[in-house]
Amino acid sequence: MKIGFIGLGNMGGHMARNLATAGHKVTGFDVAGIEVDGVANAASSAEAAKGADVIITMLPNGQILRAVAAEVIPAMQPNACFIDCSTVDVESARAVAADWPLSVDAPVSGGMGGADAGTLTFMAGGSAEAFAIAAPLFEIMGQKSVHCGENGAGQAAKICNNMILGATMVVTCEAFALADKLGLDRQKMFDVVSTSSGYSWSMNAYCPAPGIGPKSPADNDYQPGFAAELMLKDLRLSQQAAEAVDAATPLGEHATQEFAKFVEDEDGMGKDFSAMLPRLSKMKRG
């Protein structure tokens, strides 16, 4: 299959490489001029799309997605499928689908490690026909894909998932900071919580305390697996969506506020989102 891949950054580069390694003919474009082993370079996004059976995008936000789609769609051949793997607002995903019905919004979970290893999870929105085209490619780039519904449903699922993730990471870090001040050993706390009702992915798989649980960014001085500023972006998308449909999300709102302070007013930019723990450990009540 001939694939045009637009956006070859921390995630997209690994994904494009895995597709090329699997035998697909991949042509890529990135405004930063990034080159990926096994992937041919195009001079523009429109050039990457010419003659492609599938176009895949991995972009920073909805505004850029709309701009790229406006360049790419006129260059696409009939019956080509447009797959956007970015995390963007639901409205942008639906706007692209309105311009090109054979499209899938398919944001991912799994971070850079999952993109590299080909173990991502894809949350897909689009028609059954479009998903059938995309699914074999998801199998190469990931370990699981879920067809969540019509266009926009993939973004809705990602936004809801990451609102849970952001909120649970904040409260997990709060719990460790409280345990420290109560004199409770971190390992003992992990041993209890990880096998009790406080169990969560943030605690068990991505523990924010160094030296506790499976290896995580906390064990690498909080170098990002998933950067705090990306979590802030996703949380803001959740609140934008909540406002649009008049949904009450008080804990999602609180998590958004905490990450905004951390990233924009403190030193959280460029750190993993689990670095909320050392931040909270320094804070006092009130």
Nearest to 55 by CA among 82, 19, 92, 85: 82
Helix, strand, or coil (residue 27): strand
First-to-final CA distance of the chain: 58
User: How far does CA 270 lie from the centroid of its chain?
Assistant: 16
Beta-sheet strands, E only, within 48-183:
54-57, 81-84, 103-105, 108-109, 120-125, 142-149
d(CA 174, CA 177): 5
Give me 65's structure tokens: 């997605």
Alpha carbon 213 to its chain centroid, in Å, reads 23
Cβ 87 vs Cβ 114: under 8 Å: no
Active-site hit among 25, 144, 158, 215: 158
Which backbone phi and psi does 275 adopt, to 5 degrees?
A: -70, 5
Q: Is 158 a catalytic residue?
A: yes
* Backbone torsions φ then ψ of 104, nearest 5 degrees: -135, 130
Tell me the residue type at 239: Q
CA distance 73 to 242: 30
Catalytic residues: 158
